[in-house]
């Protein structure tokens, strides 16, 4: 017989969901304004710590999942996405490709030794995230400022080259850590690589990648 604690941990809440978002398939726990019927792989609009993003439902959240994931990535489930949202999603893809191509041209012009991995745009069509590799975030401020001038898009930089211990001092985004405002001024509220965590940050990406693999391998998400 299961204990009351185990039963509570396994209970699913119809207003809280585990969802993935972003090119790096980050995981988080997202709260809807009211109970809603959503199934696996439903596309939804999420307010994440980075901004307004398109996400995919993995499962309703159990109490344990809500506590575990919500301690690291928590946000709002705004609504389900529908056919009327397709034009915006197409614009997001076009913006991401524009940012990617512009950043590659700028890298070649400047001779900056930055590896450009991928780009993604946010649902507001005004912000984008560029995934890069570069060992010196202090060299990236002018790069990001020039991208804004050339694209009209505020491009935040997710520098995957830095260990979490370094990124507590800044992730290379404009005005984040490497500027005067520190991580508290980062307009995305932190990045997937640990910026804004403060203290001795721990890189949770391997853990969440493993957790997502477990979720994809089964139709439920038993973390009891």
Query: Is 20's pLDDT higher than 70?
Result: yes
The rounded mean pLDDT for the chain is 74
pLDDT in tens, 83-132: 999 999 999 999 999 999 999 999 999 988 899 999 999 999 999 999 99
Express each pLDDT in 26-83 by its tens digit: 888 999 998 888 989 999 999 999 899 999 999 888 887 777 776 578 899 999 999 9
**DSSP state string for the chain:** ---HHHHHHH-EEEEEEEEEETTTTEEEEEEESS-----TT-EEEEE-SS-EEEEEEEEEEEHHHHHHHHTTSEEEEEEE--GGGHHHHHHHHHHHHHHHHHHHHHHHHHT---EEEEEEE-TTSSEEEEEEE-S-GGGSHHHHHHHHHHHSSEEEEEETTS-HHHHTT--SSTTSSSSSS-GGG-TTSS-TTSTT--SS----HHHHHHHHHHHHHSSS----
pLDDT tens readout for residues 170-199:
444 444 433 333 333 343 333 433 333 333
């Amino acid at each position: 017989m299961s204990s009351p604690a185990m039963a509570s941990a396994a209970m699913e809440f119809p207003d809280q969901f585990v969802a993935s978002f972003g090119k790096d398939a980050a995981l988080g726990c997202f709260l809807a304004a009211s109970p809603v019927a959503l199934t696996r792989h439903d596309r939804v609009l999420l307010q994440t710590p980075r901004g307004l993003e398109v996400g995919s439902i993995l499962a309703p959240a159990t109490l344990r999942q809500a506590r575990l994931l919500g301690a690291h990535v928590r946000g709002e489930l705004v609504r389900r996405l529908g056919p009327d949202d397709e034009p915006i999603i197409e614009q997001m893809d076009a913006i991401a490709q524009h940012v990617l191509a512009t950043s590659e041209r700028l890298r070649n012009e400047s001779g900056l030794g930055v590896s450009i991995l991928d780009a993604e745009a946010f649902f507001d069509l005004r912000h984008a995230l560029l995934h890069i590799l570069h060992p010196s975030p202090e060299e990236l401020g002018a790069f990001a400022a020039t991208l804004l001038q050339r694209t009209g898009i505020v491009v935040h930089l997710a520098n995957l080259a830095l260990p979490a211990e370094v990124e507590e001092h800044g992730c290379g985004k404009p005005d984040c850590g490497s500027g005067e405002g520190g991580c508290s001024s980062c307009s995305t509220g932190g990045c997937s690589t640990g910026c804004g965590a403060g203290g001795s940050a721990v890189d949770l990406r391997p853990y969440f990648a493993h957790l997502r693999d477990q979720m994809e391998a089964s139709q439920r998400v038993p973390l009891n």
